[in-house]
């Protein structure tokens, strides 16, 4: 036998018509329909007030969600998200709570769901990643222990001009000290930016960079004209290993945020682009919470250095037992009748020589340049030793004792 197919609405229609006819008791009709008297009265009442439409199934969802997001709260979240498209729900919630503490803001997950509904998020495919390094930085537990500097990478503004941003950031607090459009990427243009930052914020203990110009050179000690000035200012140059940009990972990651928030799309002119960088720097330091800082702002963590900068480039200090020589304009020194090439970046600077096993060790301030073997007329580079995450000089003697001008004897 075949099953007889019926629809709930038709069965309810038969029920209410039978009730309206009044030929059988109401309780008997409910029993035959397989419903309670309460449900039977509900169907009949809907039939009387709404007609056949009242017999269709209704949604079980509540007419109003008890914890639905208020329209004004949602509007504030969306406004801040559209103002800063790269900010996620955690940052948006943190900023709104700080700027409007009198209101109760929804959970970050609810704000994220709101952004999804409004089409403000882009789903990205998850990628397998290697485990992060546990000690990417050494000696940057406090502000001004280590500053990081680099060029972000050039791009063109709307009028076709080349834009080369130079960035300077404190490693511990992530405070953005400088974000400057440069006319040229050389020592003559980078040093004034560093000098201005030193005067405003004081001196860091070390300054990290990559091994490219103008931060370093292929000469002895890897010193460049810029790094020589940095040493004479009382700061230790701190270079990453060649080909290891992850050792300056905090600044590299910052450049992604800079590009996304202040240069996508680029401004029309270099002047307008610098204005965008200035606005970004204020927002980044004072308004944008940083997850690595426990959602604090960099400006809340950073404090200026107690090592003030007086603008004087001081000569390095050498031990009285060391022989000193002034580097000639071509980067050479005269030693025991021979001309030994060191580094043209050291032109006019004094270097110290001390006798060691097999020859004479040559250094500039705290940077070992190499060894002149006995009977040789060339500088032998120092043996490379593992230094953890950086390959840099052990430190300038300026950092922990006052500067002294050396009375240079025996120098030619």
Q: Count other C-beta atoms under 10 Å from residue 308's C-beta.
A: 11
| Beta bridge pairs of residue 264 | none
> Is 235 in the same domain as 171?
yes
Asked if residue 359 is part of any domain, the answer here is: yes
Q: Residue 64: what pLDDT?
A: 62
Asked if residue 318 is part of any domain, the answer here is: no
| Distance of alpha carbon 143 from alpha carbon 301, whole angstroms | 8
> How many domains, in total, are found in the chain?
4
Question: Which pLDDT band holds residue 377 (cuts at 50, 70, 90)?
Answer: confident
State both tokens at 171.
């490693």
CB neighbour burial string for 195-211, b if at least 16 within 10 angstroms, e if fewer: eebbeebbbbbbbbbbb
> Is 286 in the same domain as 229?
yes
> Is 153 in the same domain as 243?
yes
Render pLDDT for 96-152 as a digit per residue (tens, 0 to 9): 999 998 888 999 999 999 988 888 887 777 665 544 444 455 567 899 999 999 998
Q: Residue 194: what pLDDT?
A: 97
> Is 332 in the same domain as 391?
yes
Task: Give the rounded percent of residues in the chain with a pLDDT score beyond 70.
Answer: 86
Render pLDDT for 303-358 as a digit per residue (tens, 0 to 9): 999 999 999 999 999 999 999 999 999 999 999 889 999 999 999 999 999 999 98
Asked if residue 281 is part of any domain, the answer here is: yes
Question: Which pLDDT band holds residue 398 (cuts at 50, 70, 90)?
Answer: very low
> Is 218 in the same domain as 80?
no
| Distance of alpha carbon 198 from alpha carbon 174, whole angstroms | 17
> Is 254 in the same domain as 187?
yes
407 has a pLDDT exceeding 60: no
Q: Rounded mean pLDDT of 390-406? A: 38
Average pLDDT, the chain: 85
What is the domain extent for residue 266? 146-301
> Is 86 in the same domain as 179?
no
Asked if residue 164 is part of any domain, the answer here is: yes
> Is 267 in the same domain as 343?
no
Distance between alpha carbon 185 and the CA centroid of its chain, in Å? Answer: 22
| Distance of alpha carbon 36 from alpha carbon 27, whole angstroms | 8
> Is 87 in the same domain as 180?
no
Question: Which pLDDT band holds residue 201 (cuts at 50, 70, 90)?
Answer: very high
Asked if residue 310 is part of any domain, the answer here is: no
Asked if residue 272 is part of any domain, the answer here is: yes
Asked if residue 61 is part of any domain, the answer here is: no
Do residues 380 and 368 lie in contact, with contact meaning Cβ atoms separated by under 8 Å? no
> Is 167 in the same domain as 217?
yes
State both tokens at 23.
């030929």
Give the CATH number of the domain where residue 188 resides. Answer: 3.30.420.10
Question: Which pLDDT band holds residue 360 (cuts at 50, 70, 90)?
Answer: very high
Asked if residue 124 is part of any domain, the answer here is: no
Burial of 317 (0-12, 13-18, 19+ CB in 10 A): middle
| Distance of alpha carbon 344 from alpha carbon 334, whole angstroms | 14
Q: Residue 65: what pLDDT?
A: 63
> Is 178 in the same domain as 290?
yes
Q: Rounded mean pLDDT of 354-363? A: 93
> Is 90 in the same domain as 21?
no
Q: Rounded mean pLDDT of 11-40? A: 86
Of residues 364, 388, 244, the one with CA closest to residue 316: 364
């Amino acid at each position: 036998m075949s099953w007889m197919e019926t629809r709930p609405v038709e069965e309810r229609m038969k029920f209410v018509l039978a009730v309206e006819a009044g030929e059988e008791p109401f309780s008997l009709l409910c029993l035959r329909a397989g419903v309670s008297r309460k449900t039977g009265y509900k169907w009949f009442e809907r039939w009387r007030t709404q007609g056949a439409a009242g017999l269709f199934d209704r949604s079980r969802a509540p007419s109003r969600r008890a914890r639905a997001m208020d329209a004004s709260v949602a509007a504030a979240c969306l406004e801040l998200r559209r103002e800063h498209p790269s900010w996620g729900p955690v940052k948006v919630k943190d900023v709104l709570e700080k700027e409007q503490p009198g209101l109760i803001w929804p959970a970050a997950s609810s704000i994220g769901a709101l952004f999804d509904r409004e089409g403000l998020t882009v789903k990205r495919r998850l990628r397998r990643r290697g485990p992060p390094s546990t000690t990417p930085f050494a000696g940057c537990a406090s502000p001004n222990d280590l500053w990081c500097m680099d060029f972000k990478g050039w791009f063109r503004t709307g009028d076709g001009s080349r834009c080369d941003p130079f960035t300077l950031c404190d490693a511990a607090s992530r405070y953005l000290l400088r974000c400057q459009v440069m006319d040229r990427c050389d020592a003559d243009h980078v040093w004034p930016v560093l000098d201005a930052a030193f005067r405003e914020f004081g001196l860091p203990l070390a300054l990290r960079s990559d091994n490219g110009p103008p931060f370093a050179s292929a000469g002895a000690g890897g010193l460049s004209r810029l790094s020589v000035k940095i040493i004479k200012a009382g700061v230790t140059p701190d270079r990453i290993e060649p080909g290891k940009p992850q050792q300056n990972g905090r600044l590299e990651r910052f450049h992604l945020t800079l590009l996304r928030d202040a240069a996508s799309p680029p401004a029309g002119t270099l002047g307008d682009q610098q204005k965008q960088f200035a606005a970004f720097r204020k927002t980044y330091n004072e308004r944008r919470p940083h997850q690595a800082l426990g959602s604090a702002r960099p400006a809340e963590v950073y404090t200026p250095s107690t090592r003030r900068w007086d603008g004087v480039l001081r000569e390095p200090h050498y031990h009285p037992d060391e022989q000193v020589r002034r580097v000639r304009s071509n980067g050479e020194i005269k030693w025991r009748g021979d001309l030994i090439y060191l580094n043209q970046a050291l032109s006019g600077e004094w270097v110290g020589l001390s006798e060691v096993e097999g020859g004479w060790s040559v250094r500039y301030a705290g940077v070992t340049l190499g060894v002149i073997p006995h009977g040789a007329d060339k500088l032998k580079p120092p043996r490379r030793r593992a230094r953890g995450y950086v390959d840099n000089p052990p430190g300038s003697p300026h950092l922990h004792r006052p500067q002294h001008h050396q009375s240079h004897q025996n120098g030619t």
